[in-house]
Chains A and B, each alone.
Chain A
């Protein structure tokens, strides 16, 4: 159980920096195919920003913002986006994750289709990595496995 920090400096600096860290994470994800970075790195930065919120403002604030149920939905969604784009390529007659064949679906040239496909896959990877990181940290912070909403309420009361 992590409580609200009592240090004014840490809380204020974290409060101001968290939005910028999150935007930087999205920048790393979106520019993964032009510059160093990508889904894994951006996802880790995004997860780290939420973990920073949890450490500084306590468990309750972090869980109000993004609950355990949402985290579960998000990491399934991330894997679904990744595998979905890969499988879509199979249906269009290419290999797994062969984005070039998606060109007629997106009405663009094969090269642009590859770029967009990589972007989609990276968004999926980013969401999955972020939510798995946060999920692991929630489990450590609560010192227990995943609980659904009903049992949590009973435990707190």
Chain B
């Protein structure tokens, strides 16, 4: 009798302990779940905050640089530098920068804007020289009595990536006498009309494309730029 009672009592004791253990495990589990959930929520909040900050910074940078460019353009146009006209220009530039700051810098790639501008200025004399050369060539073609022109339309696929560099290449081709860009297809295929086999061959050699890629730091030229930058760093270290 006493033994059975004792056994019952120990059984109950064990079951109570078991229950308590399960309960404790449940509590612990929920606790860990809760902490991980709150952590993930907090992380998400932080990430959203960071993303928002980065976006706000980018858009404020765009706003500021658009404002500065427009203000310079205003000074160029106006030519009156008293306080009244400068403040008018300031207000006008602010309004326009607010309205259309996302237009001027819509698809900007990662790159140094100052370097791009420097290289673009350095590209201009070369392009003027090319214009002069093909000018003489076209004049020869047209003035010679036989007029040996062979008009042809040809296509080539460009290695350039951004719309800005496509536009630069297309306008460069059109500015050069004898060749005209008819169309750029979505895949980056240029359709070009050339007056002569030589002009077409000059374009197909791809020197102009290389130069444009160099300006906008695209395709393989971005690695060359990296190497150049690193070389400068190594030189400083030495």
Contacts and interface: CB of A to CB of B under 8 A. Distances in A.
A binds B: yes
Interface of A: 6-9, 11-13, 15-16, 18-20, 22-24, 26-27, 30-31, 34, 53, 65
Interface of B: 66, 70, 73-74, 77-78, 80, 85, 88-89, 92-93, 95-97, 99-100, 103-104, 106, 163-164, 166-167, 170-171, 181, 183-184, 186
Contacts of B95: 26
A19 B94 CA distance: 11
A22 B96 contact: yes
Given A8-B167, A12-B166, A24 B77 contact: yes
Chain A binding surface SS class: helix
B167 A23 contact: no
Nearest to B162: A12
A9 B78 CA distance: 30
A8 B184 contact: yes
Contact of B163 (A8, A18, A24, A53): A8
A19 B96 contact: yes
B183 A65 contact: no
B163 A23 contact: no
Given A24-B77, A26-B92, A30-B88, A9 B171 contact: yes
Contacts of A34: 80
Contacts, number: 63
Contact of A26 (B96, B103, B104, B106): B96
B99 A65 contact: yes
A11 B163 contact: yes
Sorted from nearest, which 3 A-B pairs have the closest CB atoms?
A12-B167, A26-B92, A19-B100
A22 B74 contact: no
User: Which of A8, A18, A20, A53 gathers the greatest number of chain B CB atoms within 10 Å?
Assistant: A8
A8 B99 CA distance: 22
B66 A19 contact: yes
A31 B183 CA distance: 40
9 contacts: A9-B166, A9-B170, A19-B103, A22-B96, A22-B100, A23-B92, A26-B96, A27-B74, A30-B89
Contacts of A6: 186
Given A8-B184, A19-B104, 18 more contacts: A6-B186, A8-B166, A9-B184, A11-B163, A12-B166, A13-B167, A16-B103, A19-B66, A20-B73, A23-B70, A23-B73, A23-B77, A24-B77, A26-B92, A27-B74, A27-B78, A27-B92, A30-B89
